[in-house]
Chains A and B, each alone.
Chain A
Amino acid sequence: MSIRGSVAVAGVEWSKLFAQLKVRLALGACVAGPFAFAAAMRLQSSLPTDTLFGRWVTDSGFAVPLVVLGFAALWVFPVFASIVGGDVFSAEDRYGTWSAVLTRSRSRAEVFAGKVVTALAFSATAVAVMAVSSIAAGALIIGRQPLINLSGVLLRPEQAAVSVVLAWVSVLAPVFGFTALAVLISIVTRSSVAGDGLPVLAALTMQLLAFVDSPAITRPLLMTSAFDAWHGFMTEPPYFKPLLYGTTVSFLYAVGCLAVAYRLMLRRDVGR
């Protein structure tokens, strides 16, 4: 397997992605969503007080990306992970194009690596676009006021900005974990419907297990727990244990899923 070959595959996949309407729409929603939310908060009198930082959302623009982050962790990130990860392999089954792809000068390993890199890069791009958009929406529509953290300490705007960026960076690990899970489902089922839907279902199930009275030891093993690890940045003093657990668990999910997926990719028969 050569890096050059994998990069060539990733380049082709990236071109295919941006030729698809659903991908452009998803990224457009990442840009427009936070602005719409911030504008709605500015215009309405009631606040989402039942969410973290919801009560501060009109007092500090830095609360906006954190409220968006809390909502996205529940609903949006698993969707980001599955939009491309759940479709990047099964789309070739749907269109019947595996024969065309695998009769070029690229090994299966290079095709696998290129597609996985594309899926991970898209997930990261979507998170980054949403982060930038929500920070910009908060700053432009609400303002760059100081932010009160979860311990009641007032953070200066520059401290708040650093904490917000770190909070968004911290969700990349579980997003990659869910992307890897979507890749595995895409390869196993050869179905884009399953590839898009099952990772979201898995995320909802994990969130449900976190809410119910499951044994305490199992909670850190749920990938969705890592989506809340950023709460530790917002306390005084900060704590990083959940981030460490979450990143490790996400890494193990990603490595496990990709190892199985790679094995299946090498062994599969194309057409019978």
Chain B
Amino acid sequence: MVTRPAVEASGVSKRFGIREALRDVNFIARRGELHGLLGPNGAGKTTLMRVLLGLVRRDAGCVSLLGRNVDPGSAPLPDRVAALIDTPAFYPYLSGRANLELLARLDGESGGRAIRVDRALVQTGLAVQADDAVAGYSAGMRQRLGLAAALIRTPQLLFLDEPTSALDPAGARDVRALARRLADEGAAVVLSSHDMSEVEELCTMLTVINGGRVVFSGTVGELRMLAPAAVHTLRTSDDCTALRVAAERYAMKVTPIAGGGFEVSAAIEDLDAYVIGLGRAGVAVRHLERRTRSLESLFLELTGHADPESAMPAAAADEPLHESSVAS
């Protein structure tokens, strides 16, 4: 039997007045997968999550969560779908525990409610402050409480929007471990974050959004391979001649490195031609290595925020990246 993805969204569009927040977005996240959602501020990540959850009505497209269609006007969110969106907010005059109990009552299941609330409080490190009024909670404690509110739904699909933004390093580590554990147990976790290292460390799949459009969707490895201008370090027997050959015959960016050698930013076919050209020019290649690029620099390129001095060709920043259009 083929299991449907935990999240299936196709052709999702949303407009706020004249501003197009999402345009023809397709998104799929599977069970057991930690799926990163990346994009600069205002790219549409949170709006996409809100649309997927039915908090914001879509203008076009279809959304299904755990195999059930989402219609904000009629059906409730499917059971076992949970979310931590934005900075979580609660009733400040109630304790953390009372807030969770009320939310659990909204879910309707009475069996084991108190146990689930207690367990979520322990999992998020809030057991000690559980009976304090939320009005006195710090931003980090509210974020933990938001996570606890999601966990009491024993999620099979969990949306986390910047879940570690208000947490200290230890808290952030705990949240990452929790997200990974949930994914290992078979849940789909969709995580948006500005922290590239966090996404790189956690996520197996990535979707990059810019200007309301999906500009990349695939694995982290595929993203690296799809980089429009791979960077290689090159050392030759005659760097001066090699630089001159590059400048005269090939459209590529070559940057000398302190201590010898240089960086070459070029598509792989251009690099092949350049290396052959060096051989014809009597220059030996002594060292050629593809430099691992950080997800951050790739992200900046994809979203058109790259340093103008960087290696990315200008045209690539304007076009969405698809496997067929980018040299690997």
State which of B16, B75, B85, B94 has its C-beta within 8 Å of the C-beta of A103: B85
- Judging by beta carbons under 8 Å apart, are A19 and B98 in contact? yes
CB distance from B324 to the nearest CB of A (A): 35
Among A71-79, A105-113, A163-171, A206-214, the stretch in contact with B: A105-113
Question: Within 8 Å of chain B (Cβ to Cβ): is A272?
Answer: yes
Question: Within 8 Å of chain B (Cβ to Cβ): is A256?
Answer: no
- Judging by beta carbons under 8 Å apart, are A270 and B105 in contact? no
- Contact size class for A? 20 to 34
- Judging by beta carbons under 8 Å apart, are B93 and A19 in contact? yes
CB distance from B73 to the nearest CB of A (A): 5
- Judging by beta carbons under 8 Å apart, are A99 and B79 in contact? no
When chains A and B are docked, how far (Å) is the Cα of A128 from the Cα of B106?
Answer: 28
Question: Within 8 Å of chain A (Cβ to Cβ): is B53?
Answer: yes
Residues on B with C-beta less than 8 A from A270 are 50, 55-56
Among A7-15, A146-154, A175-183, the stretch in contact with B: A7-15
- Most chain B CB within 10 A, of A4, A20, A95, A110, is at A95
- Judging by beta carbons under 8 Å apart, are B76 and A105 in contact? yes
Residues on B with C-beta less than 8 A from A11 are 105
When chains A and B are docked, how far (Å) is the Cα of A101 from the Cα of B83?
Answer: 11
Residues on A with C-beta less than 8 A from B107 are 104-105
A-B contact count (CB 8 A): 103
Taking CB atoms and an 8 Å cut-off, the chain B residues in 50-107 that contact chain A are 50, 53-57, 72-79, 81-83, 85-94, 98, 102-103, 105-107
Once A105-B108, A107-B74, A271-B50 are accepted as A-B contacts, the answer to whether A95 and B57 lie under 8 Å apart by CB is: no
Question: Within 8 Å of chain A (Cβ to Cβ): is B121?
Answer: no
Residues on A with C-beta less than 8 A from B46 are 271
When chains A and B are docked, how far (Å) is the Cα of A272 from the Cα of B85?
Answer: 12
Taking CB atoms and an 8 Å cut-off, the chain A residues in 74-99 that contact chain B are 95-99
- Judging by beta carbons under 8 Å apart, are A99 and B106 in contact? no
Residues on A with C-beta less than 8 A from B91 are 16, 19, 95, 97
Question: Within 8 Å of chain B (Cβ to Cβ): is A244?
Answer: no
Taking CB atoms and an 8 Å cut-off, the chain B residues in 209-252 that contact chain A are none
When chains A and B are docked, how far (Å) is the Cα of A241 from the Cα of B162?
Answer: 62
Contact with B along A36-76 (1 / 0, CB 8 A): 00000000000000000000000000000000000000000
Once A8-B108, A105-B76 are accepted as A-B contacts, the answer to whether A15 and B55 lie under 8 Å apart by CB is: no
- Judging by beta carbons under 8 Å apart, are A95 and B55 in contact? no
Residues on A with C-beta less than 8 A from B50 are 99, 269-271
- Judging by beta carbons under 8 Å apart, are A100 and B88 in contact? yes
Once A100-B89, A108-B73, A270-B50 are accepted as A-B contacts, the answer to whether A8 and B55 lie under 8 Å apart by CB is: no
When chains A and B are docked, how far (Å) is the Cα of A96 from the Cα of B82?
Answer: 17
Once A12-B105, A99-B83, A103-B53 are accepted as A-B contacts, the answer to whether A5 and B89 lie under 8 Å apart by CB is: no
- Judging by beta carbons under 8 Å apart, are B106 and A9 in contact? yes
- Judging by beta carbons under 8 Å apart, are B73 and A272 in contact? no
Question: Within 8 Å of chain A (Cβ to Cβ): is B303?
Answer: no
The chain A residue sitting closest to B53, CB to CB, is A103
- Judging by beta carbons under 8 Å apart, are A271 and B74 in contact? no
Residues on B with C-beta less than 8 A from A96 are 87, 89
Residues on B with C-beta less than 8 A from A12 are 102, 105-106
Once A15-B102, A16-B91, A95-B92 are accepted as A-B contacts, the answer to whether A106 and B76 lie under 8 Å apart by CB is: yes
- Judging by beta carbons under 8 Å apart, are A95 and B90 in contact? yes
Residues on A with C-beta less than 8 A from B164 are none
- Judging by beta carbons under 8 Å apart, are A103 and B102 in contact? no
Residues on B with C-beta less than 8 A from A8 are 105-106, 108
CB distance from A90 to the nearest CB of B (A): 14
Once A4-B108, A99-B55 are accepted as A-B contacts, the answer to whether A104 and B72 lie under 8 Å apart by CB is: no
When chains A and B are docked, how far (Å) is the Cα of A39 from the Cα of B86?
Answer: 54
When chains A and B are docked, how far (Å) is the Cα of A250 from the Cα of B246?
Answer: 85
CB distance from A214 to the nearest CB of B (A): 41
* A-B contact list, 9 entries, CB within 8 Å: A15-B102, A19-B98, A95-B90, A99-B88, A101-B103, A106-B106, A108-B72, A266-B73, A270-B55
Interface residues of A (CB under 8 A from B): 4-5, 8-9, 11-12, 15-16, 19-20, 95-110, 266-267, 269-272
Q: A5-B76, A99-B55, A104-B76 are in contact. List 20 more A-B contacts (CB 8 A).
A: A8-B105, A12-B102, A12-B105, A12-B106, A16-B94, A16-B102, A19-B93, A19-B98, A95-B89, A96-B87, A96-B89, A99-B50, A100-B149, A101-B103, A105-B78, A105-B79, A266-B73, A269-B55, A272-B16, A272-B21
